[in-house]
Amino acid sequence: MKRYIILLSAAVLSMLAASCQEEELNPESVIKVTEVEKNDFDKWLEVNFVNPYNIDFKYRFELNESDMNYYTIPAEFDLSIKMAHLVKYLCVDSYDEVAGTDFTRSFFPKMFFLIGEWEYKNNGTFILGTAEGGKKILLSGINYLDTHLKAGAEALNHYYIKTIHHEFTHILNQTKEFPAEYKLITGAGYVADSWSEAPFNTEYLQNGFISAYSQESDVEDFAEMLSVYITKTPEYWASQLKLAGDSAKYITAKLDIVRQYMFDNFNIDIDVLRDVIARRQGDVVKGLIDLSDITIK
Amino acid sequence: MKNNRITSALIIAAALVSSQSCLKNQKDIFEESSSQRLENYLSDLKSTLTGAKNGWVMEYYPGAEQAYGGYCYVLYFTNTEVEAFSEIDIENSYRSAYKLTTDYGPVLSFDVHNPLLHYFATPSSGMYEALGGDFEFMIKSISSEKIEMLGKRSQNIYTLRPMASDAQPLEYVTKVAEMSENMRAAEFEGTIGDQEVKGEVDMNYRALIFNLNDTTQVYAPFMYTPEGLRTYEPVKIGGCTFQDLYYLTENNIFTNGVFTLKGKLPEDYTPYGEFAGDYTFYYYTNNSRSLNVTLSPDEAGTGYVLSGLNSNYTVRLEYDRAKGRLVWRSQIVGANGNNPVILAAWDLNHGGSLTWSSDAGCYIKKNLETGYFDFEDLGQYEGIATDSWILWEVDSDMNGIGQYYGWGNSQIAYIGYLKRK
């Protein structure tokens, strides 16, 4: 037995000896971060997005952030600056105003990634924006921003801003689930990908949905309800309910749940939020906000 | 006990085997870590890019297998920005940021939008893959004479060569654009080494097609240069290897100093000026219907205007210098409020599909037998052989709305030919 132990010790020792050549560790990390010289816009972003909210606003193309299923291109520099102002003034500042900076810091997406074109599918349709894991929002079609800005609030919302509110709603839902009874109200009406086809693409109101895309699923419905409600005027909402006829009661019942959910969980009154967003949209459309100014105040 | 011995022996053996690694002198093959070397490489790349005082000529081949041929760019690099010139816009240059990064090995990325550098990569509803152009390039080799890069999407080689010291970028790309305008050799023939060749120049997709005999064909994508053209890769025919060909406009010949290829115009070639005049436009198969139309040269002298189809619009026609024909493409001819109205290529013979893609349309070319001008499908848009035209209204996103009746007759069915008055 003793000999056995000696032999074992010898073996262990000689194994240890394998590491006898001591190598000094290189103090330099092998991981290198690509350094890009900061321009004035980068500095502005640091002051307005990174420092206060820890939001990374990526306006330069990065392979790893892009969806390789689509052919796309980088965003224009000047339009990226405008988009940054719009995200800040219409979204970040709106939530700050209504729910407080802590709310925005905690829940608002931590990364924006801009691309110049839409993500076109091979059937000619295209994707406006997507959200990933409650953290990142992709904004596409930035190179068309001027055209839609000129066209007014509706176009601006349709192509960009409503998308942000819509995706942000998903993030809130991932943090706090919405009540299960929501999906029962128009439970039979969810048709997945068929929402864009006839008759669903035209008869959504009569079926109790605020938009065609609402019919995709209860999760999308919830996000559409909130994002449409807060980016449209009260008159628009009333007109849609009128068109919905008998089914207006379903939309209203769902809106009540949305309203309650936002209030109970985040202390947000969606009517106040709608007013704030409307006022701010008005400012942008009237040209009261300098969207190109990147001086640091 | 015997078992114990065997175990002991095995342990000792194992110990000996493992102790060998102690004797082995493991030297690093490289003195620096891979990331450090990559960083050094990028730093080399940057100093090479910025070091070319006159900038670089980029040979840009978009599309898989160089499907569209090559285009000429001139690039100037500063530490943070690139200024781009190109034959696709000979009046402007555009500056934008660029980045050297390491996502797929050493990579040069034009990561902020530039109208020239992203032209071939910009997708649309009709072309979701764009023209297959690249804006991210893996670096294959660096020297002050040549930088070779691999386009991430197309997998084509994009080469940068330093500009000659006496060349001005705008002047250079203008000369290239002029060469592409002026080349009139749609076909060519001659002898290369010991090989007789006949061939064609595909001006639309920028490729030389050499027919060596009935069965052997050599296909060589090319780009225009100020002096002629340059193929994507060296071409080997009849014992000769060549990549650059001079084009002599006055004689319509290609040469590299060793051999000469005589350019030819097609038999139905019509010189630019000869299209002008008044015509009767016959349509509807049995030619039972006709219109009085006029072809007038446009202001730029690069195309024609066709008037008389309808008092509400005229049609722009391009002149194809290589083939000596007019080109009639689907195009916006007016508007209904904010909605564009398009005169769209229409295929009645095969069921009535239509498209407003500008790839679709027809040639107007001389019929050698009748002396009239016939219509012939361009053959550039799959699925539609244009035999008719139709007015179609679309919304501001170019989504179709429907046939447009606002200007009266909206259809020109079964186009026939143009007969000079």
**For A183-213, how does the pLDDT look when each residue is reduced to its tens digit (9 = 90+)?**
999 999 999 888 888 888 889 999 999 999 9
The pLDDT score that the predictor gives to residue B18 is 59
Query: Among candidates A43, A62, A41, A59, which has minimal Cα distance to A51?
Result: A43
Residue B30 identity (one-letter amino acid)? F
pLDDT classification of B3: cutoffs 50, 70, 90: low
pLDDT, average across residues B233-237: 96
Mean pLDDT of A25-48: 83
Q: For the segment B183-201, what is each residue's pLDDT rounded down to a tens digit?
A: 888 899 999 999 999 999 9
Instruction: Say what the pTM is.
Output: 0.79
Q: Which of B38, B78, B128 has the most A C-beta neighbours within 10 Å, making it the best mutation to test the interface with A?
A: B128
The span from the first CA to the last CA of chain B, in angstroms, equals 119
Nearby residues of B375 by Cβ (< 8 Å), 6 or more positions away: B328, B362, B363, B364, B386, B387, B415, B416, B417
**Is A14–B19 a contact, with Cβ atoms under 8 angstroms apart?**
yes
- Count how many pairs of residues, chain A against chain B, have C-beta atoms within 8 Å: 123
| Burial class, B24, CB count within 10 angstroms (exposed 0-12 / middle 13-18 / buried 19+) | exposed
B residues 39-68 closer than 8 Å to A (CB): 39
Query: What integer pLDDT is reported at residue B322 of this predicted model?
Result: 76
Q: Which residue has the higher pLDDT, A1 or B198?
A: B198
Average pLDDT of the segment spanning B398-406: 91
Alpha-carbon gap, residue B314 to B240, rounded angstroms: 50
Residue contact B113–A116, C-beta within 8 A: yes
pLDDT above 80 (res A4): no
B135 touches chain A (CB under 8 A): yes
Give B352's contacts (C-beta < 8 A, 6+ positions apart). B346
- Chain B residues with CB-CB distance to A26 below 8 A: 33
Whether residue A34 and residue B12 make contact (CB cut-off 8 A), yes or no, is no
Taking an 8 Å cut-off on Cβ atoms, the answer to whether B121 and A76 are in contact is no
CA A88/CA A47 separation, integer angstroms? 12
User: Which of these, B159, B184, B178, B206, lies nearest to B90 by C-alpha position?
Assistant: B178
* pLDDT confidence tier of residue B262, bands split at 50, 70 and 90: very high
How sure is the predictor about A132, in pLDDT bands with cuts at 50, 70 and 90?
confident
Q: For all residues of chain A together, what is the average pLDDT? A: 89
| Closest CB from A11, A71, A80 relative to B123 | A71
Shortest distance between the Cα of B218 and any Cα of chain A, in A, equals: 31
CB-based contact B33 A34, cutoff 8 Å: no
How far is the C-alpha of A169 from the C-alpha of A228, rounded, in Å? 11
With an 8 Å Cβ cutoff, are B22 and A63 in contact? no
Element (H, E) at A280: helix A270-285
The pLDDT of residue B122 is 95
Give chain A positions within 8 Å (CB) of B153: 71
DSSP notation for B273-303: GGG-EEEEEEESTTT-EEEEEEEEE-TTSSE
Mean pLDDT of A61-77: 92
Peptide bond into A199 cis (omega under 30): yes
pLDDT category at A20 given cuts 50, 70, 90 is low
Provide long-range contacts, Cβ within 8 A and 24+ apart, for B398-406.
Answer: B398/B125, B398/B340, B398/B356, B399/B125, B400/B356, B401/B339, B404/B336, B404/B341, B406/B312, B406/B336, B406/B341
Q: Which of A126-135, B122-131, B148-157, B340-349 has the lowest mean pLDDT?
A: A126-135
Q: Is pLDDT at A98 greater than 90 in this prediction? A: yes
Most confident of A109-113, B11-15, B288-292: A109-113
pLDDT, tens digit (0-9, with 9 covering 90-100), for B34-67? 888 888 999 999 999 999 999 999 999 999 999 9
pLDDT digits (tens, 9 = 90+) for B109-161: 999 999 999 999 999 877 889 999 999 999 999 999 999 999 999 999 999 99
Minimum CA–CA partner of A3 in chain B: B8
* Shortest CA distance from B18: residue in chain A: A15
For residue A126, which residues of chain B lie inside 8 Å, CB to CB?
A: 125
- From chain B, pick out residues whose CB is under 8 angstroms from the CB of A10: 11-12, 15
Nearest Cβ partner for A11 among B12, B22, B110: B12
| Partner-chain residue, chosen from A30, A70, A120, that has the shortest CB–CB distance to B35 | A30
* Contact call for B97 and A61, based on CB within 8 A: no
CA A34 remoteness from chain centre: 26
Average pLDDT over residues A114-120: 94
Q: Mean per-residue pLDDT for A259-263?
A: 97
pLDDT at B22 over 70: no
Residues B304-310: contacts with CB within 8 Å, 24+ apart? B304/B275, B304/B276, B308/B281, B309/B281, B309/B412, B310/B407, B310/B408, B310/B409
B104 and A63 within 8 Å at the Cβ level: the answer is: yes
Mean pLDDT for the stretch of residues A33-42: 83
pLDDT of residue A7: 61
pLDDT in the model for residue B306 = 96
Distance CA A156, CA B179 (A): 44
Distance CA A129, CA A242 (A): 30
Whole-Å CA distances, B307 to A218, B296, B317 = 55, 8, 11
Question: What is the nearest CA distance from B289 to chain A, expressed in angstroms?
Answer: 37
Q: What does the DSSP 8-state code read for residue A92?
A: I
Which residue among B33, B103, B124 sits closest to A30, beta carbon to beta carbon? B33
For range B232-240, the mean pLDDT: 95
Specify which residues B290 forms β-bridges with: B282
The set of residues, in sequence order, having a beta carbon less than 8 Å from that of A57 and lying 6+ positions away, is A45, A49, A50, A84, A87, A111, A112, A114
For position A124, what pLDDT does the model report? Answer: 73
Nearest Cα residue in chain B from A23: B26
B12 contacts on A by Cβ (under 8 Å): 7, 10-11
Q: In Å, how far is A2's CA from the nearest CA of chain B?
A: 12
Rounded Cα gap, residues A42 and A258, in angstroms: 37
